[in-house]
Amino acid sequence: MTALDLSSPVAVVGTGTMGQGIAQVALVAGHPVRLYDAAPGQARQAADAIGARLDRLVAKGRIGAAERDAARARLQSVDELTGLAGCSLVVEAVLERLDVKQELFRALEDIVSDDCLLATNTSSLSVTAIGGALRVPGRFVGLHFFNPAPLLPLVEVVSGFATDVTSATRAYETARAWGKTPVACADTPGFIVNRVARPFYAEAFAVYESQGSDPATIDAVLRESGGFRMGAFELTDLIGQDVNESVTHSVWRSFFQDVRFTPSLAQRRLVESGRLGRKTGRGWYDHGEGAERPEPHTAEPAEPPAYVVAEGDLGPASELLALIGEADIEVRAREEDGGTRLVLPGGGQLVLADGQTSVEFLDVVYFDLALDYRTATRIALSHCQDTSARTVAEAVGLFQALGKKVSVIGDVPGMIVARTVARIIDLAHDAVARGVATEDDVDTAMRLGVSYPLGPFAWGRRLGRVWASSLLADLHEREPSGRYAPSLALSRHACATEKREDTP
Ligand SMILES: NC(=O)c1ccc[n+]([C@@H]2O[C@H](COP(=O)([O-])OP(=O)(O)OC[C@H]3O[C@@H](n4cnc5c(N)ncnc54)[C@H](O)[C@@H]3O)[C@@H](O)[C@H]2O)c1
């Protein structure tokens, strides 16, 4: 099955933010494109806006003037839905309401031929439910572009229950021919990206709500240690708290209030008070004129320890041993059955975040997971009030000697990056086990859709699959709501891995 022929006319219905972007993509790829919008004059305005964007592409040297002129000549706005007769693909990007979309597709089926591919750009409605209104539902598919569509490469190609394979494949190949990176996914709440990404926001908000740390520090740790492009607080201020919360609500509701997707009370308060983020001048942060961004907590300089005793290989943090050696701090190795910790000269211990809390042990400081301990510029440490001042100072001094800024947070199990990454890995495994998408497509979707530094499966392989499931099991023991219970899929992978490792 091949992509739509470039001579085939493509229609875009609903020419707001997304419709304009999608129309531009199809147009620049080479199709004749027709625009229709229910609001009088809107389709014409959209055609003008697309024309202006093509001008800017010419000015930037991305396309030639002749190419722009040809594209403009292929672009047409129509005043009636009947003007879409003869199109080979209709992409709908209208109001996010099931009844509105169903009514539109019913009307469209009377106008286009039975082999016209019909697609919705819905982000939160069920493709199956919209397609339920159709006479020929097999040709109906989700084509979920990301905003801004001309710039972001990812397109989730969503198959509803009734979507036939040829239609899904044709949509997939067409998206690819348009220069996009399509991923195939089943029709489930949030598709891939909006489902698997929920813990990125939820865990940051949970750490804040449990008084573990403040937004600026959590954001800095997610960026500088976790390798995420933005922290959850600044990102949701950019997206809009109302928009981000409504995606969370929709996924949570659609999963029958599954506790793993529970929305945040703190975010609810923000939305209720109109603090929606940059667009209202205030969200988690103050975006008003001249407002200063609060600084993340950064520990004062402390003396590094003269040596550390390494028990075990530190698992995902084993690279630290080389870094400590390079910083001229002696590493004394001690074989200890099952031990994975650094013992400091004062006798205190430094342990990688594992889902337990410092208060459960004698003189322990936890350190958070980093994407790459060599390039991380900040590390979070957590401890309880019983941890000795000497142990805290030695732990801070050690990471500072490695060139890292140190943020000390509260005694939160799983800290910030570790719990976030473990939950993302878990939801990714769960999604694949439930047939939502393949492992590769989940990784691609999360890298391209939300710019994660690594896909969850690649990350999981790097950390060891047992790592995420055991961290979540520890968290679940401490907060037995079910939110942290490792999924069956992740537990199965962990068991299989352990069995392989135990087999001589
Ligand atoms: N904005 C995003 O970031 C984003 C990202 C991915 C998907 N989506 C989805 O794309 C769709 C459109 O979102 P948007 O942000 O572009 O909205 P928008 O409000 O910018 O544009 C919607 C357009 O649809 C028109 N419209 C409404 N009802 C119509 C009808 N019955 N027939 C024809 N036109 C109609 C409106 O006049 C408006 O111009 C939604 O389903 C949304 O969930 C949005």
Contact 205, 232 (CB under 8 A): yes
Q: Which pLDDT score, from 0 to 100, does residue 1 have? A: 64
Known catalytic residue: 121?
A: no
Residue nearest ligand 1's atom 25 by CA: 14
Q: Which pLDDT score, from 0 to 100, does residue 497 have? A: 74
Q: Which pLDDT score, from 0 to 100, does residue 63 have? A: 92
Homologous superfamily (CATH) of 307-409 is: NAD(P)-binding Rossmann-like Domain (3.40.50.720)
Q: What residue has token string 């001309």?
A: 150
- Cα of 20 from ligand 1 centre, angstroms: 10
Q: Which pLDDT score, from 0 to 100, does residue 312 have? A: 84
Positions in the chain short of pLDDT 70? 1, 336-339, 465, 502-504
Cβ atoms < 10 Å from Cβ of 266? 13
Q: Which pLDDT score, from 0 to 100, does residue 256 have? A: 97
> What would you report as the CA-atom Rg of the chain, rounded to the nearest whole angstrom?
26
Cβ atoms < 10 Å from Cβ of 209? 12
Q: Match domain 192-296+416-504 to its CATH number in 1.10.287.610, 3.40.50.970, 3.40.190.10, 1.10.1040.50.
A: 1.10.1040.50
Q: Which pLDDT score, from 0 to 100, does residue 338 have? A: 63
Per-residue pLDDT tens over the stretch 87-146 = 999 999 999 999 999 999 999 999 999 999 999 999 999 999 999 999 999 999 999 999
Q: Which pLDDT score, from 0 to 100, does residue 84 have? A: 98
Work out the widest C-alpha separation in the chain, in whole angstroms.
80
Rounded to whole angstroms, how far apart are CA atoms 246 and 238?
A: 15
Per-residue pLDDT tens over the stretch 286-307 = 999 999 999 999 999 999 999 9
Catalytic residue among 31, 92, 124, 144: 144
Q: Which CATH architecture has domain 10-187?
A: 3-Layer(aba) Sandwich (3.40)
User: Ligand 1, closest atom to CA 21?
Assistant: 16
Mean pLDDT, the chain, integer: 96
Residues ≥6 apart with Cβ < 8 Å to 375: none
DSSP string, 444-501: HHHHHHH--SS-HHHHHHHH-HHHHHHHHHHHHHHSTTTTTPPPHHHHHHHHHHHHHH
Catalytic residue among 88, 124, 167, 194: 194
Q: Which pLDDT score, from 0 to 100, does residue 327 have? A: 97
In CATH terms, are 10-187 and 307-409 the same topology? yes
Kindly state the percentage of the chain with pLDDT values over 70: 98
| Enclosing H/E stretch for 266 | helix 265-272
Rounded to whole angstroms, how far apart are CA atoms 430 and 446?
A: 15
Per-residue pLDDT tens over the stretch 422-433 = 999 999 999 999
Pocket of ligand 1 (CB under 6 A): 13-19, 37-39, 42, 93-96, 100, 104, 121-123, 145, 147
For residues 222-249, one letter each, b for 16 or more C-beta atoms within 10 angstroms of the residue's C-beta and e for the rest, the string is bbbbbbbebbbbbbbbebbbbebbbbbe
Sequence spans of domains, the chain? 10-187, 192-296+416-504, 307-409
